[in-house]
Structure 1
């Protein structure tokens, strides 16, 4: 993976527990372009790479903007950025990647954000407004103090399409989810980002309301590697090489493959980012990721070794890494 060296040009307090960072290239010049919904990998000393969505307008190439929530159960990434990074410091990042693209030609785009999930949604609103496309942004937060970018949204040229919802506000201010989803038109798409519980709630309601799965787009910020008492050891055969790797109970397939010398690209290690996706040519994966759609899972032609296992005794993979 190519690496970009960045300088922290500015740090802002965007809301309670949320810091915004402006990152500019150390060498100057233009940064790789990105599309709305993209994220970057931030590499911190002694920690796995962390993914943060870009929240500035996609046309900008002089800086990348991210916002970071200080997680109470931080694995080190958010705590490091909040407590140990200062203006002028240098950070290494990966180039932008996007698994949360806007669908071209949508009739109307419904953008729904919960908490820190507003970051990619902001870039989407900027892009749709620049295109003159039809959209509405609904942003939910626990309280006004925890609502990031409220000032930016209030001053945005698309502010008349922004709707703010607070958990501690009056009933009339709550998210009217059923009514929003019931108003679906042909060719409409909905984009959802936020904490897992919020995201699952909105996605489930959209599918129950008849939205086609291909029109419901989600971005998880974190996942969990699910372990079950019923899990058993299984084998992974690498097609064409004769190599067979045993994945022990309690061990992830990714860890087993890496230990066996396979150079599996990986980033989140939680079944969220899709970087470790591996082709399966025989056997049935036990999908536990949050990246693949139901249709993609049903094909059983790929799996995420960081989080998923096998339903049988063996999977045969054909890696392209």
Structure 2
């Protein structure tokens, strides 16, 4: 994604839970921001120049606006602290999107599992499941009740929502909760990596269900390279440039050094912000996001971590 951004205005900031900030974003001209399907996210360009990705959790009664939830991460890379400490109502930011790598697919039964801030992309999925008349349940775990965002909004769903604050009830009983999953159910899970791994292990033993996840960090261990980390050329079709990519330098860094603006957020092959169309050549995929089918097709790559299997790639940049 190269420079396709537009301006948004912070209309309101609210405290959603301990350490969780809610921001409502609107179009500065009073128009409507683009609509989004459940599971979609946006990229925010912060005043410092950092780019960060946030899932949309806009309430149904506020069409044309966006709402995001930002967890303060003291050990993070600075984006969450910047939003918490410096962005106020009236601040103008630039954004890109929405994009959706976590779509809600049709199913007779839906099981949702959230850990901490991982509730954010699932919140609009619950509302959509209600509209569809789909059977669903949510298991929501967090460190403490005070740190868990959106509990008042979730309360309207009654006993279909199971809230498990760790300081009150320990860790969620994934085994027991998933054991009754009906055949054909889809499981949607978002949260920290230990939760995703635990859910995947249990779902692997339940072939009657299909697991869908959204993660904040790369898979561990990262995908092992299948070819040597050698240099190659990246031909940027739209920019009319040919950029050398030396061994040890990412495509993203080489392209930026050549003066071509490309949005990127995680730079770990997880978020998809730098996803780029491949016009010619064969990528060496080293990301944690693309599906096996997308990797086999070879027409997309995450240029922050992935490389080339041959001496030349032609990219739609």
1:317 is aligned to 2:313: yes
Residue of structure 2 in register with 1:89 after alignment: 91
Contact 1:58 1:127 in 2 (8 A): no
Contact 1:280 1:315 in 2 (8 A): no
Cα 1:69–1:259 shift into 2, 3 Å: same
SS in 2 for 1:100: coil
Contact 2:283 2:306 in 1 (8 A): no
Distance in 1, matches of 2:73 and 2:228, equals 29
Query: After the TM superposition, which residues 41-190 of structure 1 pair with which residues of structure 2 at under 5 Å, given as runs?
Result: 41-57=43-59, 60-103=62-105, 105-154=106-155, 156=156, 158-170=157-169, 174-190=171-187
1:221 is aligned to 2:188: no
Distance in 1, matches of 2:56 and 2:241, equals 42
Query: After the TM superposition, which residues 228-307 of structure 1 pair with which residues of structure 2 at under 5 Å, given as runs?
Result: 232-236=229-233, 238=235, 243=242, 245-249=244-248, 251-260=249-258, 266-274=264-272, 275-279=274-278, 282-283=281-282, 285=284, 287-297=285-295, 302-307=300-305
Cα 1:91–1:132 shift into 2, 3 Å: same
- C-alpha deviation, 1:143, in angstroms: 1.4
User: CA offsets, 1:131-166, max 9 Å, x none?
Assistant: 222111111101112111112212x2x233111112
Q: Identify the range of structure 1 (293-302 vs 1-10) with the bigger mean alpha-carbon deviation.
A: 293-302
Contact 1:245 1:260 in 2 (8 A): no
What is the root-mean-square deviation of aligned Cα atoms in Å? 3.2
- C-alpha deviation, 1:259, in angstroms: 3.0
SS in 2 for 1:29: coil
Number of matched pairs: 310
Cα 1:247–1:204 shift into 2, 3 Å: farther
What residue ranges of structure 1 are gaps of 5+ in the alignment? none
Q: Identify the range of structure 1 (196-205 vs 185-194) with the bigger mean alpha-carbon deviation.
A: 196-205
Contact 2:10 2:26 in 1 (8 A): yes
Q: TM-score, normalised by structure 2?
A: 0.84
Residue of structure 2 in register with 1:196 after alignment: 193
What residue ranges of structure 2 are gaps of 5+ in the alignment? none
Contact 1:4 1:95 in 2 (8 A): no
Cα 1:239–1:204 shift into 2, 3 Å: farther
- C-alpha deviation, 1:197, in angstroms: 2.8
Distance in 2, matches of 1:108 and 1:74, equals 36
Q: TM-score, normalised by structure 1?
A: 0.83
